[in-house]
């Protein structure tokens, strides 16, 4: 998942299945170690437009970095369980539950101060950007928008859903993904109410490319035309999302940036082969933990003894230790070569 991009659409911060990757400015990326939060490499994340502020949430706790993931110096109270988070209003909106009571709230949080916005129900997901949306399935299915107070755009007492989350929005309304035990639906919710979409097993998107919305339903790319979804063709993309006015799709080897065409195509803008060693951050213990993780993930892929590629389609360098710029006294450089110790069992976020 692309979290932040530069003016040209090149990713500057990416969430991967081994942690985060932060751009070095030369076409390569520094590995951002999960040990800098709670060691969960699949933790979810949100970021500021420039990628400097990064919020990671895992197993109910949110961690905040103000230096592109070098250090996470703020965290939420463990009396709260963080359900979701989104970038909004120059800070982050977080949906939380009080562990003891189950009470739900949405809070604006910048790592130092917080302001409660209340909640329109038990929130499953948040969507930030120009406006803040919240949605959930209990005690009733609902979609709300924050306008100084919560405005309910849709609510239903007679439907059973297991999860309802906002996915994308424009000036006219918000797209919402609703899932039950059997399938998922993509809804269009406006002030006029809700329009339900067809049911599918797997849904990616939607994302707005130029003047139309795109979504992937069960491996087939669709465009929203004339108030209905029209099939464009089969794709092998496993994600679809928009960041900073650019639209991205995931494939096995690459992250693609899509171009506007009757049948959109993509150009590679990121590959895992561009990831190199972590930056030198924090104290000795943090550096050692980070070194162990890079030894595991980088060593497993054969990356610790090669240089990261400088473009998505270029090969990795064939010689040299893959080490990012570091302080002269950085203790983790030796750990990259010597340590093969795996980190302790990782906690997983609640489904």
What size, in residues, is the chain? Answer: 351
- Give the mean model confidence (pLDDT) for residues 149-155: 96
Q: Give the per-residue pLDDT at 14.
A: 98
Percent of the chain with pLDDT over 70: 91
**Are the beta carbons of 38 and 53 closer than 8 angstroms?**
no
3-state secondary structure of 59: coil
Instruction: Select the more confidently predicted residue: 349 or 318.
Output: 318
Of the listed ranges 160-164, 207-211, 220-224, 301-305, the least confidently predicted one is 301-305
- pLDDT at 86 > cutoff 70: yes
Q: Give the per-residue pLDDT at 299.
A: 87
List strands edge to edge, sheet with 212-217. Answer: 203-209, 212-217, 220-225, 228-234
Distances from the Cα of 30 to the Cα of 81, 290, 336, angstroms: 30, 12, 14
Q: Give the per-residue pLDDT at 320.
A: 54
- pLDDT at 323 > cutoff 70: no
- Give the mean model confidence (pLDDT) for residues 117-131: 96
Question: Which of 63, 72, 25, 55 shows the shortest CA–CA distance to 276?
Answer: 25
- pLDDT at 15 > cutoff 80: yes
What average pLDDT is seen over the chain? 89
Percent of the chain with pLDDT over 90: 81
- pLDDT at 131 > cutoff 70: yes
3-state secondary structure of 286: helix
- Give the mean model confidence (pLDDT) for residues 232-261: 97
Residues 165, 179: Cα–Cα separation, whole Å: 9
3-state secondary structure of 252: coil
pLDDT tens for 186-224 read 999 998 899 999 999 999 999 999 999 999 999 999 999
Q: Give the per-residue pLDDT at 213.
A: 98
Q: Give the per-residue pLDDT at 275.
A: 97
pLDDT tens for 18-43 read 999 999 999 999 999 999 999 999 99
**Are the beta carbons of 85 and 126 closer than 8 angstroms?**
yes
- Give the mean model confidence (pLDDT) for residues 304-331: 70
- Give the mean model confidence (pLDDT) for residues 160-185: 96
User: What pLDDT band is residue 335 in, cutting at 50, 70 and 90?
Assistant: very low
Instruction: Tokens 């949080």: give the residue.
Output: 109
Q: Give the per-residue pLDDT at 334.
A: 31
pTM of the predicted protein model: 0.88
Q: Give the per-residue pLDDT at 319.
A: 63
């Amino acid at each position: 998942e692309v979290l932040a991009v530069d003016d040209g659409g090149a990713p500057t911060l990416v969430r991967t299945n081994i942690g985060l990757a932060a751009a070095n400015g030369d076409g390569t990326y520094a590995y951002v170690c999960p040990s800098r939060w709670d060691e969960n490499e699949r933790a979810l994340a949100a970021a500021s437009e420039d990628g400097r502020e990064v919020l990671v949430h895992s197993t109910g706790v949110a961690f905040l970095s103000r230096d592109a993931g070098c250090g996470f110096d703020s965290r939420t109270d463990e009396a709260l369980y963080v359900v979701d988070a989104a970038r909004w209003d120059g800070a982050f909106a977080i949906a939380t539950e009080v562990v003891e009571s189950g009470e739900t709230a949405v809070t604006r949080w910048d790592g130092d101060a917080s302001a409660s916005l209340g909640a329109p129900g038990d929130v499953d997901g948040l969507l930030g950007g120009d406006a803040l949306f919240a949605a959930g399935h209990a005690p009733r299915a609902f979609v709300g928008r924050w306008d100084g107070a919560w405005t309910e755009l849709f609510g239903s007492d007679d439907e059973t859903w297991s999860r309802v989350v906002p996915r994308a929005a424009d000036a006219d309304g918000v797209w919402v993904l609703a899932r039950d035990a059997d399938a998922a639906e993509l809804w269009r919710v406006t002030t006029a109410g809700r329009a339900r979409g067809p049911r599918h097993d797997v849904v990616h998107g939607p994302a707005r490319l130029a003047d139309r919305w795109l979504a992937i339903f069960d491996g087939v790319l669709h465009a929203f035309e004339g108030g209905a979804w029209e099939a464009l063709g089969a794709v092998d993309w496993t994600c679809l999302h928009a960041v900073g006015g650019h639209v991205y799709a995931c494939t096995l080897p690459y992250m693609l940036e899509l171009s506007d065409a009757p049948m959109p195509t993509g150009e590679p803008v990121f590959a895992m082969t561009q990831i190199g060693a972590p930056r030198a951050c924090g104290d000795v213990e943090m550096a050692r933990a980070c070194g162990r993780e890079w030894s595991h993930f980088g060593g497993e892929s054969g990356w610790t003894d090669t240089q990261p590629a400088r473009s998505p389609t270029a090969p990795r360098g064939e010689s040299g230790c893959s080490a990012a710029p570091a302080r002269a006294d950085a203790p983790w450089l030796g750990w990259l070569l010597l340590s093969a110790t795996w980190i302790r069992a990782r906690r997983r976020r609640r489904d």
